[in-house]
Amino acid sequence: MQESKFAQHRYFLKDSIRKTVNFSRTDQNLGLPPPTIEKPYQNDKKVIPMIPPSDLADLYTITLQSAINNRQSRRQFKRESISSAELSFLLWATQGIRQPIDYGHALRTVPSAGARHALETYLAVLNVENLGAGFYRYLPVSHSIIVERLDSLAGQKITRATFHQNWMADAAVVFIWAAIPYRMEWRYGLAAHRVILLDAGHVCQNLYLACEAIGAGTCAVAAYDQEQMDQVLGVDGDDEFAIYAAAVGRPR
Ligand SMILES: Cc1cc2nc3c(=O)[nH]c(=O)nc-3n(C[C@H](O)[C@H](O)[C@H](O)COP(=O)(O)O)c2cc1C
């Protein structure tokens, strides 16, 4: 029988690879230190604190059931800003730390295989109160963001990097999640990659529900030009690369 042209790719969806991994030889079991839970940043970067989750309860009144029931992908946005409190809430809901452990481990608001949390959150800020347009990155450990690069063309660069999904230009902010695969490989070796994608789904679902809760809306985006997006984010494309995105705005 001729092997299906899909077989190799379907294999990636399965967990068969786990049985081929010698877990006693993973970097974790060889005693190598865990990679840091957050990508380090140069200390000349401007750090902007986000509002702590304990001060954000006023933002929402709807029930969890309504948030789940109302959830839908929203691609039509008013050209309105979102507030820093709203951005703080969305960052906390998607990657916030709920229990720090040590420099290599922390538990967050989303689950992650082996609690490895191999994602970084980049933001293309287009219309957020008190923030200039440009590229930022979330620092979960201090619940703050750093300015990667102010850029008045951030919206255009993002739509170009998403094969001209032009509706994204009206968003207030675009979340782009990049994977740092070694954080997962350190523990799982070759069985690391499938679960990174599963982790990303949890993150984006929290974004959908958190947006519904605060009267915002989002739409997941997995269709993008890999090389162009990595270049826009300023990541190397090998040890760190974009895997998923979502545009957030005030629904029309
Ligand atoms: C993994 C994934 C990738 C997606 N990529 C895109 C995308 O690139 N562009 C887009 O407009 N919508 C994208 N969507 C949104 C889907 O089109 C949407 O979820 C689907 O049509 C169902 O609609 P609903 O979310 O309103 O229930 C994506 C959704 C998921 C889960």
Output the tens digit of pLDDT for each of the chain's 252 residues. Answer: 457 889 989 999 999 999 999 999 999 999 999 999 999 999 999 999 999 999 999 999 899 999 999 999 999 999 999 999 999 999 999 999 999 998 899 999 999 999 999 999 999 999 999 999 999 999 999 999 999 999 999 999 999 999 999 999 999 999 999 999 999 999 999 999 999 999 999 999 999 999 999 999 999 999 999 999 999 999 999 999 999 999 999 999
Ligand 1 centroid from CA 175, angstroms? 14
| Pocket probe mutation, ligand 1, options 77, 221, 226, max atoms within 8 Å of Cβ | 221
Whether 6 is in a domain gets the answer no
Give, for ligand 1, the residue of 13, 73, 198, 204 to mutate: max count of ligand atoms closer than 8 Å to Cβ. Answer: 73
- Mean pLDDT, the chain, rounded, equals 97
Is position 52 within any domain?
yes
Q: Does residue 12 form part of some domain?
A: no
Residue 28 lies in a domain: no
Contacts of 182 (CB under 8 A, 6+ apart): 35, 118, 239
Would 180 be classed as within a structural domain?
yes
Q: Which residues contact ligand 1 via a Cβ below 6 A?
A: 72-73, 75, 165, 219-223
Decide if 15 is inside a domain: no
3-state DSSP call for residue 194? helix
Rounded to the nearest angstrom, the distance between the alpha carbon of 48 and the centre of ligand 1 is 31
Total of domains in the chain: 1
Query: Which of 77, 167, 219 has most ligand 1 atoms within 8 Å of CB, for mutation?
Result: 219
Q: Please tell me the residue having the least CA distance from ligand 1 atom 6.
A: 221
Encode pLDDT of 194-203 as tens digits: 999 999 999 9
Ramachandran region, residue 210 (left: φ > 0; alpha: ψ -120 to 50; beta: rest): alpha
Cα(219)–Cα(208) distance, integer angstroms: 8
Over residues 151-184, the pLDDT tens digits come to 999 999 999 999 999 999 999 999 999 999 999 9
Q: Is pTM, for the whole model, over 0.95? A: yes
Q: What are phi and psi of 229, to 5 degrees?
A: -65, -45
**What is the residue with the minimal CA distance to atom 28 of ligand 1?**
220
Ligand 1 atom 29: the closest Cα is on which residue?
220
Q: How far apart are CA 173 and CA 87, in angstroms?
A: 9
Distance 220 CA to ligand 1 centre (A): 5
User: What is the domain extent for residue 103?
Assistant: 45-251
Residue 246 Cα to ligand 1 middle (Å)? 9
What CATH number corresponds to the domain at position 220?
3.40.109.10
Q: Has residue 192 been placed in a domain?
A: yes
Buried b or exposed e, range 68-77, using 16+ CB within 10 angstroms: eeebeebbeb
Domain membership of residue 23 (yes or no) is no
Distance 190 CA to ligand 1 centre (A): 28
